[in-house]
Amino acid sequence: MQQRQSLFLNTSATLGFIFLYAPIIALIVYSFNKSKLVTVWGGWSLQWYSALFNNEQIMTAAWLSLKVAFISATVAVVLGTLAGFVLSRMGRFPGKLILSGWITAPLVMPEVITGLSLLLLFVAMEGTFGWPSGRGIGTIIIAHSTFCLAYVAVIVQSRLSAMDESLEEAAMDLGAKPFSLFFLVTLPLISPAIISGWLLSFTLSLDDLVIASFVSGPGNSTLPMVIFSKVRLGVTPEVNALATIMIGIVALGVVGAIWQMRRQNRMMNSID
Amino acid sequence: MNAPVSLNIPGQKPASGMGRLIYALRHLSIGRWTVISLPSLWLAVFFFVPFLVVFKISLAEPTISIPPYSSLLEWDPEESFATLKLNLGNYLYLFEDAFYLEAYLSSIRIAAVSTFFTLLVAFPMAYLIARSKSTTRILLLSLVILPFWTSFLLRVYAWMGFLKKNGLINEFLMTFGLIDQPLTMLQTDFAVYIGIVYTYLPFMVLPLYTALEKMDITLLEAAEDLGGRPLQNFFLITLPQAVPGIIAGCLLVFIPAVGEYVIPALLGGSDTLMIGKVLWDEFFLNRDWPMASAVATVMLIVLVLPIMLIRNTNSGKEAF
């Protein structure tokens, strides 16, 4: 009985992992395909990689996306850390409930609504104040910072509320001013949350198609926008090559994170 | 995270004299207000005000101009008189035309069905991870998390190559003689279900794992000793303990799935109705900004507000 049960469990879980990885593996394998037809295997080749790097449209868009993701993640981390700190360490203040609502709302907001509402805001602002004049990289950065801010704030807030306040209190008792308290005590303590918040923001920004499509201007297509317009017409081997590179980078990052975690665990164990 | 829970409830006055002084200072400083107002102002301008703008434009009329909507206030220079023109036509049209109601209902149906199937696929995976040794556990967990960090768009795209007429699944089935004619799978609702289950699977596995990992395994052993059958044990012991994880996972999948645009656009057919796609088409294809705004406003009230209310209940708070 027990054995049959675990056989069923193992089979269905394995199928689940196959389901998760089969498309990714197929994508990677076919990025090395010599044949122009995506479904016909014509031997190994790196031609789609060279085609990818020679595709100026994709390269320009990738560079734009990286810039946007870098700046947005940084802005989101600064504002999100402040917001998370304000919510968990600043006590009561008028409007706290509203702020905590605004922090969590972007997490459940459909992207189409966020995109549309920000675009309409930018258009209305341009009509009233003359700023932002036109739409482009600046408006994409503002939009991405806004929705990433929420993720950072939630991560920082949960880290702060799980954390003992005694270190901060001790620093205060020893006469630390609020400014130095924050930068010398609180910030180092929450740095893991800040780093994961930055990485998450960077990924979310790099990946966003819907919001960027609404708020970007002509000639400012991000990488997902270019990919989307290409794959709408069908499967293209160049995109397979691009996907393989991106998956490779992420896999390296995940392996690095596990390695780091193991090392930390070992250090903790040796201290104990 | 084993950090002890802080006893200092935010907002509560510390008892010691020193603490009270700091508390008072914290409440007075200008720095404090700068710190509070910086993120608040940003969110007010770029998150809250946009909704007011959307609501305002949903009451306008579409015009052929830049921007393509009429202004609500009309200023008559001769009379020095302003008239407010509100157009409820967009909302009336939303309720009159069955298309929009169908799109709302169909998004909810598609999201609900996909969420259910995601749960079915994720449960054994989460259970296996929770029951495995700690070294395998880290490996399996990272296998679940890895796709989450890779591009969403590219993961949806990967299924296009799988599901299309001369795609891998059809080739595979035909080679083994299971079918004579290639199946039409791409551009159907079926493909949309697959896409949602696939892309949101990690969101379901992780909270389920968290719940199952906390489960008291001795209960299951006791039930087995007392002669409970596996199925009985599952429904009476495992499942109830997994409920918080199930709720959290279902919300994490259902909420983004309901407003999904990319998946129905790439995998769905022209008859796949989802409200996110309707809004997108209204805006980008019909260029009807007021109508798109009306769709967004109704979506906000009918879909997003209930979700936020659920989140504020106790089980919702636990879930997120």
- Over B101-168, what HEC string results? HHHHHHHHHHHHHHHHHHHHHHHHHHHHHHHCCHHHHHHHHHHHHHHHHCCHHHHHHHHHHHHCCCCH
Return the CATH number of the domain spanning residue range A56-271: 1.10.3720.10
At B231 the pLDDT is 77
Interface membership of B154 toward A (CB under 8 Å)? yes
Mapped onto helix, strand or coil, the DSSP state of residue A132 is: coil
- Give the tens place of pLDDT for each residue, A144-164: 999 999 999 999 988 888 887
The domain locations on chain A are: 56-271
Separation between Cα atoms, residue A165 and residue A160, nearest integer Å: 8
More confident residue, A18 or B168: A18
Host H or E run for residue A79: helix A56-89
**Which residues in chain B are contacts of A116 at CB distance < 8 A?**
54, 279, 283, 292-293, 296
Q: Inform me whether the pLDDT recorded for B279 exceeds 80.
A: yes
Find the range with the poorest average confidence among A121-130, A158-167, B75-84, B91-100. Answer: B75-84
**Which residues in chain B are contacts of A16 at CB distance < 8 A?**
121-122, 124-125, 201
Entry pTM: 0.85
Give the pLDDT band of residue B15 (cuts 50, 70, 90): low
Which of A17, A20, A249 is the mutation pick for testing B, counting most B CBs within 10 A? A20
Over residues A20-41, the mean pLDDT reads: 82
Q: Inform me whether the pLDDT recorded for B6 exceeds 70.
A: no
Q: Widest CA span of chain A, in angstroms?
A: 73
Work out the end-to-end distance of chain B between its first and last CA atoms, rounded to an integer number of angstroms.
17
Over residues A26-45, the mean pLDDT reads: 80
What chain B holds in terms of domains, given with CATH numbers, is 17-84 (no CATH), 97-287 (1.10.3720.10)
Asked whether the beta carbons of residue B35 and residue A86 sit closer than 8 angstroms, the reply is yes
- Give the tens place of pLDDT for each residue, B156-181: 988 888 888 878 888 888 888 888 88
Is this complex scored with an ipTM above 0.90?
no
Which of A88, A116, A204 is the mutation pick for testing B, counting most B CBs within 10 A? A116
